Structure 1
Amino acid sequence: MKHNVIAVDLGASSGRIISSTLEDEKLELKEQFRFSNQPINITNSLYWDYLKIFQEIKYGLAIAQRDLEKIQSLSVDTWGVDYGFVGHDGNLLATPHSYRDTRVKKYEDDLHEISTPREMFNETGVQPSLINSNYQLFADMKLHPYLQDEISHIMFMPNLVEYFFSGKVSNEFTIASTSGLLDGKSRELSTETLDQLGLKKEWFGDISKGGKVLGNILPAIATEMHLDPDIQIINGIGHDTGAAVYSLPMKKDEAKNSAFISCGTWSIVGQQTDEPVITSDAYEAGLTNEGCIDGSNRLLKNITGLWIVQELQKEWSFKGEMVEFGEMVKEAEQANHIGSYINPNAACFSEPSDMEERIIEFLKQTNQTLPETRGELLLIVFESLALSYHQTIVELEKATNESIDTIYMFGGGTKNSLLVQLTANFCQTNVVIGPTEASVLGNVLSQYKTLGLIKNEDDRINILNNSFESKCVTPQNLNSINLDERTRDFENILHNYEVE
């Protein structure tokens, strides 16, 4: 029997409706619909166009219904930290802000007077950042005091979208774990943090774990879009990276000696742990703690990733040079190593436009050799990313007292064979290339688990092994280079250039 489910996969630039068909312990994915999901700038504030998101998902579901005939369920995964306010009448009180909105900066010092960044980390296990929900909510309460009387519920983005389709209020653990609102030890809402921010615990409800059926799709939506009224809305894995980690063919006993790298616009380097790691080593390294579907932990660091390369491509296209990513990799492979590096997390690389100029300026400021070709420029970026991964792996090993012998790498960046090989080389570790559609895959697997079609870890891994082939990239012989010297040179660049 075929079991069809829908993953609504929302990213910070696009949204997708992906169907999954499970039959005979093998699943197949199919993209049914894709739409743009850019934040909207109005009067210097950034918002998510939730009405467009809702309408586009409905349209995509109608397309999927015609293709599949029968849909059992859907679930939503998104980026972290953002949320919406629901009033006592069940409607949104305000358009949800994007995490890149600048309103928070005005209130940063006020919040730090109440709780210092180190105190926040000690309480929640989450690295302080202006994009985090706790910072955003503090700013919202300062800007709009009337919300105290008007809010009935606060839901994070995936649960808010599921609310639009089910009418059921929910919040899920993996997405809530990105907020800076959970107690680092109990993994429940932190009463201390909520009190400091002026928030009420009842606004968030219970934080669910492990998957939950919210109910059937609202009858009005089923009628409007000619959908099966029995489609179930599932609160599965709300956070896209949490979903991606669930897609790895890795058993629980392998996790302590394995790391993962989500390689895309952002690079997320991390490791699964039984409990949050809230130590001085973790804090000083910039590591943060987020949740997994089973209630365990992801210890990780966010690194500016292929955003830099994407901006270079866009910049060159404006100049009339259309350089495909495959061509970029070839040019970098043919280039000479010139011993220069950038710090991908430097503030100058977080902003759009003039990326090539920013790289050159960084190299000048750090007294490094300048590239003479486009290939050399790209090789600097790719080597710097791989060395950043290596540095974070070392920090993870120190924080957990566990050695890492395997890296699972997934996401669109795994199509960059040079970056994958550099990662294996610099980390001197086997790199297993996971699915490109890792977040979608974790989303649908969580639905099958909630529906009782996946009963244990063996079932999940059997389905993954039956459905996808894994490729292992091994480190090359590095006798021709001095890896210790490269690592030392890269770390000197990091220490000598302040990340704002």
Structure 2
Amino acid sequence: MRRYAAVDLGASSGRVVVAEVGPGTLDLHEVHRFANVPVRAGGTLYWDILRIYRGVLDGLRAAGPVDGIGVDSWAVDYGLLDERGALLGNPVHYRDGRTEKAGSRVPFEELYARTGIARQPFNTIHQLAAEPRLASATTMLLIPDLIAYWLTGEIGAELTNASTTQLLNAASREWDAVLAGGLGPASKILAPLRRPGEVIGPLTAEAAAETGLPVGTPVIAVGSHDTASAVAAVPADGERFAYVSCGTWSLVGVELDQPMISEEGRRANFTNEAGIDDTVRYLRNVTGLWLLQECIRVWEAGGERVDLEALLAQAAEEAPFRSTVDADDPVFHPPGDMPGRLADFCRRTGQPVPETRARIVRCVVDSLALAHRAALRDAQRLTGQEVDVIHIVGGGSRNALLCALTADACGLPVVAGPVEATSIGNVLVQARADGAISGTLADLRALIRRTQRLERYEPRADAAVPAARAFTRPAR
């Protein structure tokens, strides 16, 4: 039996999970969790990256001796290094407003044709266009690559996360020379690419001392975009499946062998992100449980603790689809008074205003189920790929109301779990690279089905699911 540590950094918290892996065995337990609290200073929203790194070091110390370490995180954000390898200030948070009016010298149609990546104002290419520190930088590292650099001293850019930057060519899976050239002299900041399963390097003496681990402990490249690791852990049996990696975002899509780049896909905002074993994650980013997370943050701001399970139970008793919102309306993207914004949206669109917390929660969950349905239908239409089952993985798989409503809305069974999909995908890539297990992606998924708890939700024949409402988004 071999032991691996998954460093999983999320937008609101980070954690270190240790897994014991072997043929027929996959046993995980969390050894450390820490808050990931962004900081606003001088009008800019930053990630507190040194606090994050301290949490990683503490988590690895709690993990004890392991046979490998893998790091994954959210996408698009980065740190800049100077010629000495020192960090040029804190990474800026993707929800900062600096890219709201971001443009590009390359028309978006060409950007999509080259990269297959959907339009998002916070994509790395746009962040770099708004980056005042670029002239002083010699290297750009996405967040998991930055953590791996501090652990090993090795510079590189893992492929799955690099694909989200809108600087990677979808066909060649290399940095796009034309788009990188648009950065001018700064194009040299793009690090050499590495693939999941490659050994990045051993812990430095400094990192080993901070963690209590042996100097030779290897750090292994995994699907460092957390969604890549999560989709690798979808416990699908066959190819006719869709997935919803559900957390702060809901990533709704299907798995392909090749990028699918079309004008229809561009208009539908579908993206082609690199996955494990040369797969393509053809998906749409849907605003997910961020809506609910922000509501809870606002309600708890006065010191009151919110019992989410009790609220969800109350929401389940409310009338279904009484009020729904366009979860992807830009008004919901920044932090702020989410309950007030939801109420204002319903008021503006002539719907009943959810006046209680239970009705606000029901509004959010109903809206997400309809958003999942819309994205799934578009994915099937655009790819021609038939879907027999939807897999919901990640934290949202614990939300029984959301899983049941997604089954009802889509008219398909939902298999929920594993909750720890990102960490599972992380450690399985490590274990395969280390020789503890072997096989294809399908074999890894079979191991998950044999060892992890899954819940199945069948669509209810009597479920009254409305057609999607047509909302007009305000001009921005």
TM (norm. structure 2) is 0.94
Q: Check conservation: 1:338, 1:376, Cα contact below 8 A.
A: no
Cα distance per residue 1:96-148 (max 9 Å; x no partner): 22222333346x24x2xx112222112211112221110111222xx34633x
* CA gap 1:365/1:389 in 2 versus in 1, 3 angstroms: same
2:114 equivalent in structure 1: 123
Give me the whole-angstrom Cα distance separating, in 2, the residues matched to 1:339 and 1:133: 38
State which structure, 1 or 2, has the greater radius of gyration over its C-alpha atoms: 1
* Aligned mates of 2:419, 2:134 — CA distance in 1: 44
Change in 2 beyond 3 A, CA 1:394/1:499: farther
Corresponding residue of 1:218: 204
Structure 1 partner of 2:449:
465
- Conservation of the 8 A alpha-carbon contact between 1:338 and 1:371: no
Match of 1:170 among 146, 156, 160: 156
- Relative to structure 1, is the Cα distance of residues 167 and 322 closer, same or farther in structure 2, using a 3 angstrom cutoff? closer
Of residues 396-405 and 348-357 in structure 1, the stretch that sits farther from structure 2 once superposed is 348-357
Contact in 2 for aligned 1:72/1:230 (Cα 8 Å):
no
The 2-side partners of 1:121 and 1:422 are apart by: 33
Q: 1:309 & 1:165 partners in 2: Cα distance?
A: 34
Match of 1:280 in 2: 263
Asked whether 1:4 is paired with 2:3, we answer yes
Question: How far did 1:319 drift?
Answer: 6.2
Aligned with residue 66 of structure 2, among 67, 71, 74: 71
Question: How far, CA to CA, are the matches of 1:120 and 1:232 in structure 2?
Answer: 36
Q: From 146, 153, 158, give the equivalent of 1:160.
A: 146
* Percent identity (aligned): 33
The secondary structure found in structure 2 opposite 1:310 is helix
4-13 vs 455-464, greater mean Cα deviation: 455-464
2:96 aligned with 1:134: no
Greater CA deviation, 388-397 or 192-201? 192-201
Instruction: Find the aligned partners of 1:272 and 1:8 in 2 and give their Cα distance.
Output: 25
2:183 alignment partner in structure 1: 197
Q: Go from structure 1 to structure 2 and tell me whether the alpha carbon gap of 1:92 and 1:381 turns closer, same or farther (over 3 Å shift).
A: closer
Confirm whether residue 235 of structure 1 aligns to residue 221 of structure 2: yes
- After superposition, the C-alpha distances for 1:76-99 in whole angstroms (9 at most, x for unaligned) are 001001122223323223432222
Please tell me whether residue 32 in structure 1 is matched to residue 31 in structure 2: yes
For the residue of structure 1 that corresponds to 2:461, the secondary structure is coil
User: 298, 304, 329: which is aligned to 1:315?
Assistant: 298
- Correspondence for 1:45: 44
- In 1, Cα distance between the equivalents of 2:292 and 2:87? 37
CA positional deviation for 1:459:
4.0
Residue 98 of structure 1 aligns with an amino acid whose one-letter code is H
Q: CA 1:163–1:19 in 2, change beyond 3 Å: closer, same or farther? A: same
Q: Partner letter of residue 166 of structure 2?
A: G
Trace 1:377-456 onto structure 2 (pairs within 5 A).
377-456=360-439
Match of 1:16 in 2: 15
Aligned to 2:79: 84
- Cα distance, 1:497 vs. partner? 3.8
1:54 aligns with 2:45: no
Report the Cα distance in structure 1 between the residues aligned to 2:279 and 2:310, rounded to whole angstroms: 41
CA contact (8 A) 2:73 2:226 kept: yes
- Tell me the CA shift for residue 339 of structure 1: 3.8
Greater shift in the superposed pair: 39-48 or 211-220:
39-48
TM superposition shift of 1:223: 3.3
Taking structure 1 as reference, are residues 372 and 77 closer, same or farther at Cα in structure 2, changes over 3 Å only? closer
Q: CA deviation at 1:201?
A: 5.2
Unmatched 5+ stretches in structure 1: none
- Structure 2 residue ranges without an equivalent (≥5): none
**C-alpha RMSD of the superposition:** 2.1
CA distance 1:115–1:433, change in 2 (3 Å):
same
Once the two structures are superposed, residues 240-284 of structure 1 have per-residue CA deviations (whole angstroms, 9 ceiling, x without a partner) of 000001112225xx33x2111012222111111111221121111
CA deviations over 1:139-165 (Å, ceiling 9, x no partner) = 22xx34633xx51x3221111111111
Distance 1:53 1:414 in 2: 26
Assess if the C-alpha contact under 8 Å between 1:9 and 1:78 holds in 2: yes
TM-fit CA distance, 1:15: 1.3
1:206 alignment partner in structure 2: 192
* TM-score of the aligned structures, taking structure 1 as reference length: 0.89
Could you say which residue in structure 2 is the equivalent of 1:342? Answer: 325
Q: Give the Cα–Cα distance (whole angstroms) in 1 for the partners of residues 8 and 252 of structure 2.
A: 21
Q: Secondary structure at the match of 1:303?
A: strand
Answer yes or no: is the 8 Å Cα contact 2:390–2:415 preserved in 1: yes
TM-aligned CA deviation for residue 194 of structure 1: 0.8
> What is the CA–CA distance in structure 2 between the aligned matches of 1:338 and 1:81, rounded to whole Å?
34
CA distance in 2, matches of 1:104, 1:241: 23
Greater CA drift, 172-181 or 87-96: 87-96
Q: Is the 8 A contact 1:408 1:431 kept in 2?
A: yes
Cα pair 1:214 1:234 within 8 Å, conserved: yes
Cα distance between partner residues in 2 of 1:94 and 1:379: 41
Is the contact between residue 281 and residue 398 of structure 1 (CA under 8 Å) also seen in structure 2? no
Bigger drift between 270-279 and 385-394 goes to: 270-279
More helix by share: 1
Superposed CA offset, 1:33-68 (max 9, x none): 111222222211222223222222222222221xxx
